[in-house]
A and B are shown apart, each in its own frame.
Chain A
Amino acid sequence: MEYYPQLVTLVVLIPLVGMTINLFWGWRFGETVSGIIGTAAALLAFGVSVLLWGYLTNSGYQSAVVNPPFLDGWIRIGSANVEIPWQMRVDTLSVTMMLVVTGVGSLIHIYSIGYMHGDPLFSRFFAYLNLFLVFMLILVTGNNFLMMFVGWEGVGLCSFLLIGFWFDKAKGVGWRNSLAARKAMIVNRIGDFGLLMAIFLMFWTFGTLDYYRPGEINNVHLAESGGEHSESEAVAAEGEHGEGAAVAAEGEHGEGAPVAEEGHSEPALPVYTNNDHISTEQLGVFSQAERMIEEQHQVDFGPFNLPIETVLVLITLFMLVGAAGKSAQIPLFVWLPDAMAGPTPVSALIHAATMVTAGVYMMVRSNVFYHNAEFTSLVVTLIGAGTAIVAGYIAIGQWDIKRVLAYSTISQLGFMVAAVGVGAYGAAMFHLVTHAFFKALLFLGSGSVIHGIEHGHHLAHERSHGQGHGHAEHDHDEHEFDPQDMRNMGGLARKMPITFITYVIGTLALAGIFPFAGFWSKDEILADSWLAGLIENRFWGYIGFGVLLLAAAFTAFYMWRQIEMVFFGQPRTEAADHAPESSPLMTLPLVVLAFLSIFGGFLNTPSNVLGLDNIFGAHLFTTWLEPSVANAHAAAFQPLIAIGALILALAAIVLARSIYGANKSVTEDNSDPLAVRRDTAPIWSFANARLYWDETYFRLFENPFNVLSHFLANTLDSDFWHDYVHNTVIAKGFNSIGQLLAKPVDLGIVDGTVNGIGALVRWVAARGRRVQTGYVRTYAVTLLLGVVLVIVLLLLPALTNAGP
């Protein structure tokens, strides 16, 4: 049992193997085998997670840090004292995330076998799904922020690959999918910048990125208060540099330092209940932060110092930017609705249950930071609550079945983020888990509906146009017929009963109706917000409470609107009239998730509510989480808040029924009932236009960027640089200098000189030639003159001397 934590490496490795097989040989195997390989990988990973859960429950929730084999030291720069190892962490928080990811992931794998049937790139889909599992599990099992960042980036990549999976669909649809994938990647990247800044700040402040080192105690309060945790045995093999994997078990009560000898229990070792025996540099980031706050440490940034609280506020604000990108909060949520262009299992897995919860996981993991950064908690609550209500408002005006769910996801993520803001980390995680159940259920159900409508469209076409038109006809109509538009649905309750029932269960769970899962988790958030304002004097708890209450009412309203439009009333198109129920491969996961949505809330029943805690146990989940999340406290049940929220949700449902029920869900001209009434029309239209958020972004950021880019490319680079500078200035100038040197200088001067000398010689010769006249008499005269000259020269001395 003690070696179980080492299995956590398998959790990451098994999906990696599954992905490799499907990537390289999947095209040979055919659909069944590929699907089985992918699903088996997910299920095996789930099995390992269950084993780890068993280990934790039986060992008193003792966390463990695992060094995977053959990976000794990931980033190690001895001279700068940088040590970031590839270490994995098995504690209650990471096991929770592992269970959710692999559990819901397995169900979605099974569903995908049915959903992606007939797709030519079937095995590639499963390879991508497994790759996503690999990265997500790296994210949640990492013991330091850099591993989390690796997983963070990796799931962003998988999101891109999976959203744009159908990138080659005809008629511009494929291009739209690629644009959506690109948008997701880029907006995520902006968030990643925030997370990176937080990581840099953390490394600068603390010198390390580990959450908790081996030997540290996570939850000091729990350890110091005793608790029911048993004596633990510390087993260590050959230190950390040995050939095998080293498991360092840290205990709530346990021995602090690993035992050097081969492991047997050593009851005589000292028992630590806090981390005071460890020096600050040896601690992980969270314990270091707490100690620095006690010591009022100042962080040195060179020219200035900052107190540790300010640095924590900065770190947490940057992390909030990261979470806003990944978990789709204001202002970076715009990628999630567009991400619905991907296949529905992708929407269910990535954009409902797992990837988008990575931001919430990160914030819950850093609860120590957020607990000590008051200002950030305010900002987080405002952003979370704001996102919840804005997304809830937009969802009311959407026609696409998946878009409604997308905005619902954004809204619920806002709930989780707001919960983190008011300090309700346990409630946030609880809502994360229940939301994974019912949102995945809703998405898979919507996928089933979409499949049904598509099949119904085929069948209706065959009946009216005869056989044999095949895909050409289908593609022609696909441009005009949107199987995801709720206006083309209606009356599906009778045609697709299993889908209908599970979908209603999911809706009730999401709306927070007793006793489904959402009721418990949502109420816990509301109660915690209220109490945060009341007891802890955090006024933003009240703000969060009010806004979230309103958002919960919106949730119930738009979800029931959806139910009315899709399932009740009369079928509005032939496609809806002929929609068949989906195959068991698709409906079975729906049933399982419906079961979880009904009973999942009892994971964390508050005490003293209707005696339910005697059946299910009170606050099981919070107790489970506490060893890892030091600030997760179970709040006392607030019956007034619970009943008030329930009444509000029921009232919203009744209101939706009155507006959209009894076959009134879509008016004659294919418009919403709220859009035709004068008083609600502007409100509804604004929601339908998604608050012009994307258009504003386009005007503010994309368009100026495009304009600048065009300017730089066309005017600056092409016209100025290439045409003017290169062609005119440089090329022509060079040519003219060359011409200048060639013609006047070379031909003119050089050739001229040489030719000139020749001409000179000829001229001289021509003149000189004339001496030879050919006349004898001339020669005779010359002779005479020469003689006279000679005589004079000879006589000159005599003449001059003999002069008088």
Chain B
Amino acid sequence: MVQTEAFVMLSAVLFVLGMMGVLLRRNAILVFMSVELMLNAANLALVAFARQWNQLEGHLFVFFVMTVAAAEVAVGLALIVAIFRTKQSINIDELHQMEG
């Protein structure tokens, strides 16, 4: 049997990669992709633990996460399309009108 630690470590690595992508990417779509990566990393961790303890709650929660992720992507992409219509660019560094 594969050890749970390997799954969790993979999950961690994926999470960190995704976090790095969120922090360092300029393209909004790529930021979304990184966010998805983080979410999926969390999914993986959940599934791994559910496998370890043989419980369904973990799997169930993954369903929820996926649903939320899908909704979020829909809304987010709609937002990005709206932003592109105004600024003709989706470079997030150019979106700082609400500043102090």
Contacts and interface: CB of A to CB of B under 8 A. Distances in A.
B93 A775 contact: yes
A279 interface: no
A296 B17 CA distance: 141
Contacts of A775: 92-93, 95-96, 99
B95 A774 contact: yes
A361 B91 CA distance: 135
B1 interface: no
A768 to B, nearest CB: 8
B100 A771 contact: yes
B99 A773 contact: yes
Nearest to B25: A777
Contacts of A780: 22-23
A769 interface: yes
Contacts of A773: 96, 99-100
Interface string A759-799: 00000000011111111110011001000000000000000
A777 B99 contact: no
Nearest to B92: A776
Contacts of A771: 100
A769 B95 contact: no
B56 interface: no
A772 to B, nearest CB: 4
Nearest to A765: B100
B92 A772 contact: no
Contacts of B31: 776
Interface string B6-50: 000000000000010011100000010000000000000000000
Contacts of B93: 775, 777
Contacts of B97: 774
B2 interface: no
Given A775-B92, A776-B95, A777-B92, A770 B100 contact: yes
Nearest to A778: B96
A795 to B, nearest CB: 15
B19 A774 contact: no
A211 to B, nearest CB: 114
Contacts of B98: 772, 774
Q: How large is the interface on A (under 10, 10 to 19, 20 to 34, 35 or more residues)?
A: 10 to 19
Given A774-B95, A775-B92, A776-B92, A784 B19 contact: yes
B23 A774 contact: no
A777 B23 contact: yes
Contact of A774 (B22, B24, B96): B96
Contacts of B22: 780
A220 B75 CA distance: 148
A675 B15 CA distance: 147
Interface string B73-100: 0000000000000000000110111111
A773 B96 CA distance: 7
A775 to B, nearest CB: 5
Given A775-B92, A775-B93, A776-B92, A781 B23 contact: yes
A661 to B, nearest CB: 131
Nearest to A784: B19
Contacts of A769: 100
B84 to A, nearest CB: 15
Contacts of A776: 31, 92, 95
A717 B53 CA distance: 112
A784 B34 CA distance: 14
Nearest to A772: B100
B69 to A, nearest CB: 17
Contacts of B96: 773-775
B2 to A, nearest CB: 26
A777 B96 CA distance: 10
B75 to A, nearest CB: 15
Most buried by B among A771, A772, A776: A776
Contact of B99 (A768, A774, A781, A784): A774
A783 to B, nearest CB: 9
A768 B100 CA distance: 8
Nearest to A775: B96
A775 B96 CA distance: 5
A781 B19 CA distance: 9
A777 B99 CA distance: 13
Nearest to A767: B100
Interface string A636-654: 0000000000000000000
A767 to B, nearest CB: 10
A784 B19 CA distance: 8
A772 B99 contact: yes
B51 to A, nearest CB: 24
A765 to B, nearest CB: 9
A449 to B, nearest CB: 119
A326 to B, nearest CB: 106
Contacts of B95: 774-776
Contacts of A768: 100
A769 to B, nearest CB: 3
A784 B100 contact: no
A781 B99 CA distance: 16
A772 B31 CA distance: 20
A231 to B, nearest CB: 135
Given A775-B99, A777-B24, 6 more contacts: A768-B100, A774-B96, A775-B92, A776-B31, A776-B92, A781-B23
7 contacts: A770-B100, A773-B99, A774-B97, A774-B99, A775-B96, A781-B23, A784-B19
Interface of A: 768-777, 780-781, 784
**Shortest Cβ-Cβ A-B pairs, 4 listed:** A774-B96, A774-B99, A769-B100, A772-B100
